Chain A
Amino acid sequence: MVNWTKITDATRHYLKQVFQSDDLILSYTDSHTPGMMTPVVIRKAEDIDSIILNPICTQNLAVYLSEFFQNDIQTGKPVKGKWYITVKPCDVRSVIQMMADEQILKEHIELIVFDCDGTVTNKNLKELFKSEIRKVDFNDHQAKAETLLNEELTADLSGLYQVKCSDREICSIPAVNEFTFIGERERFEFSGTAKNTAIIQDTLTQEECFEKVSAELSKCIRCNACRNICPACFCSDRCVMDKPKLSVPYITKEITLDQIFQYHLIRFYHVAPNCTACGECERICPQGISLSIFYKYLHRMNKHLFGDESGSSDSDRQKLLSYRFGEDLV
């Protein structure tokens, strides 16, 4: 059971107590897009009341951390205050992994983990209500929506949570870090069930696998959204795929199947050691491509081959990675 009003209030209350000037809060607020929340960066205590937490807080806020830190390195301005980041249990892994990768400095970050029973995307909501909605409110597993014609609809969310939400490996807080927990119960008993999607089985032959993957990837328009939303893709503007000076382009900007493959292969090899399977890329792909095909596989292989599990420790280096904090070129 999750009482969202209580969680939101408790979070605001806690933050008001600890917040000092120079501190910064990363959280969620209303986006005015029905079924969607928007991340918010809070720099003033009076803005704390804009924080809202609910099951559509889908975004993984960890993605902003490395960018902020890189900015600080570039401008030579050391981080002054503390950074509070409100995270779901699944997102904790991303933050921890970034700490292990020395992308961010532990000392500056306080994790505020809020209880969660699963998140739903706006796509899920659309399926649930079978109509465009103007507004939606949540109470535990119940969603109450208003259609465009102002009719009221209610529905039960529990069958619609994102796939990752039922995956215990992802949806539990790794027992390594200090954090502040906001919630009423012991973690962790997941009470909802999530929808399943097809995942490539290892039993496929190479050809079958290639066909399946090609069919998915041929839809890609290379908008870069999956890369930019990814907390494990932290090269930001220095990404090899943006390199304007590359003289012999082994990767071009063409949106053709071979280059799409190139793009995704580079990307997934780069994030193989530190992808925590947060599922953001799949959620946000405008083309609806099942990117979980890749990351689930890599996540598994990383564990299988190297015994590493990304997002489970804030200090152990992943065997596939060798970046050091403050290094200029990734």
Chain B
Amino acid sequence: MSNQPNHYLPSFGKILEINQENTLIKSFVVSAPDSMQTAQVVPGQFFQLSALGYGEVPISISEIDYNKKTLLFCIANTGAITAKIHEMQPGDEIGIRGPYGNGFPIAALKGKNIVVVAGGIGLVPLRSIIHYSLMNQGYFNYMEVLFGAKSTADFIYREEIKQWRLKPDTTIKVTIDNPEKDWNGNVGFVTNFLQDKCPDHSEVLYNIDPSFKNTVVLVVGPPVMYKNVFKALEKIEFPDKQVFLSLENHMKCGIGKCGHCNCGEKYVCLDGPIFSWLEMKSLPKEY
């Protein structure tokens, strides 16, 4: 019992590199603490990062470099703690606990067509799975990324997106909510891509695998977006057990004890943050 490790104590990683992604988001490359088993980290999992003196925030992993043992976190400056993390400099130590949560069901996704639907900073946790596909060429059959941002100013990962476009068996579609000067791309919500009537509709859903037999949809975005995505998928009768999403409930402990993330029978930090749409249907709408 008490000779077991104290899970509330953070370890420390070193910040190796910081990039400003947009006005709100910075990405941090962090060397994993020695004690951490990086080989077991799965895309979709999250870590508890500490700005000591301010507190802890759950941040999902964006990239894992299994060889260099580094972790990439993209952090939006939305509160006191993340603001403090944004002030950190390369070379600084950052408190870190994890990995926590279930992550995407990677094994079950092998050989599938993956449709990634990301709204705004929802792309952050999904980047880990896109990265996974880049690092493991051929692991998935096809990868399609549908990304929607409020405006071009809210874009993240511009460089990466350019890179992703170059890969074979990969499509990237981007849209912004409202028209803008100098923008010739798609305008409207990201859910449009899921609809037949959209001239630039999803490659996978309408051309590659219209029977949806071998396709999985991964969604991350604000709670309202989930509702619209579900509506769109319902219309085309896309099977609910092939849709996965990530919940972002308020979290404190990350290990199923503090109760903050509790939603129905599930603890988002333990049983999630990744849930299938099927599972979501049995959860109360408390997310």
* Chain A residues within 8 Å of B, Cβ to Cβ: 244-247
Chain A residue at smallest Cβ distance from B84: A247
Give the A-B contact count at a CB cut-off of 8 A.
8
Residues of B with C-beta under 8 A to A246: 80
Interface residues of B: mostly helix, strand, loop or mixed?
A: helix
Q: Hey, which chain B residues are within 8 Å of A245, CB to CB?
A: 79-80
User: Closest approach, in angstroms, between the C-beta of B176 and any C-beta of chain A?
Assistant: 29
Residues of A contacting B66 in the complex (Cβ-Cβ under 8 angstroms): none
Chain A residues within an 8 Å CB radius of B79: 244-245
Q: Determine the distance from Cα of A245 to Cα of B55 in the docked complex, in whole angstroms.
A: 11
The 6 closest A-B pairs by CB, nearest first: A247-B80, A245-B80, A245-B79, A247-B54, A246-B80, A247-B83
Q: Which has the most chain B C-beta neighbours within 10 Å: A244, A246, A247? A: A247
What is the bound-complex CA distance between A244 and B54, given in angstroms? 11
Report the separation of the CA atoms of residues A246 and B55 in the bound assembly, to the nearest whole angstrom: 11
User: Inside 8 A of A247's CB, which chain B residues have their CB?
Assistant: 54, 80, 83-84
Chain B, residue nearest A244 (CB): B79
Say how far A327's CB is from chain B's closest CB, in angstroms. Answer: 25
A247 to B84, CA, bound (A): 9
State how many angstroms separate the Cβ of B85 from the closest Cβ of chain A: 12
Q: Chain B's nearest CB lies how many Å from the CB of A158?
A: 46
Nearest opposing residue in chain A for B53, CB measure? A248
Q: Which single residue of chain A is at the shortest CB-CB distance from B250?
A: A244
Known: A245-B79, A246-B80. 6 other contacts (CB 8 A): A244-B79, A245-B80, A247-B54, A247-B80, A247-B83, A247-B84
B-side contacts of A244, CB under 8 Å: 79
Q: How far is the CA of A246 from the CA of B79 in the complex (A)?
A: 9
Q: How far, in angstroms, from A244 to B80 measured CA to CA in the complex? A: 9
Distance of A245 Cα from B83 Cα, bound (Å): 11
Q: Shortest Cβ distance from A240 into chain B, in angstroms?
A: 15
Can you name the residue of chain A whose Cβ is closest to the Cβ of B54?
A247
CB contact list, B70-101 vs A, under 8 A: 79-80, 83-84
- Chain B nearest Cβ from A254, distance in angstroms: 14
Rounded to whole angstroms, the CA-CA distance of A246 and B54 in the bound complex is 9
Contacts of B83 in A (CB 8 A): 247
Complex: A245 Cα to B80 Cα, angstroms: 6
Cβ distance A202 to chain B, nearest Cβ, rounded Å: 42
Task: Return B285 CB to nearest CB of chain A, in Å.
Answer: 19
Nearest Cβ on chain B to A272's Cβ, whole angstroms: 30
Which residue of the partner chain A has the closest CB to B83? Answer: A247
The chain A residue sitting closest to B79, CB to CB, is: A245
Q: Which residues of A contact B84 (CB under 8 A)?
A: 247
- Say how far B141's CB is from chain A's closest CB, in angstroms: 44
What's the minimum C-beta distance from B259 to chain A, rounded to whole angstroms? 15
Min CB distance, B84 to chain A, in Å? Answer: 8
Contacts of B54 in A (CB 8 A): 247
8 A-B residue contacts at CB 8 Å? A244-B79, A245-B79, A245-B80, A246-B80, A247-B54, A247-B80, A247-B83, A247-B84
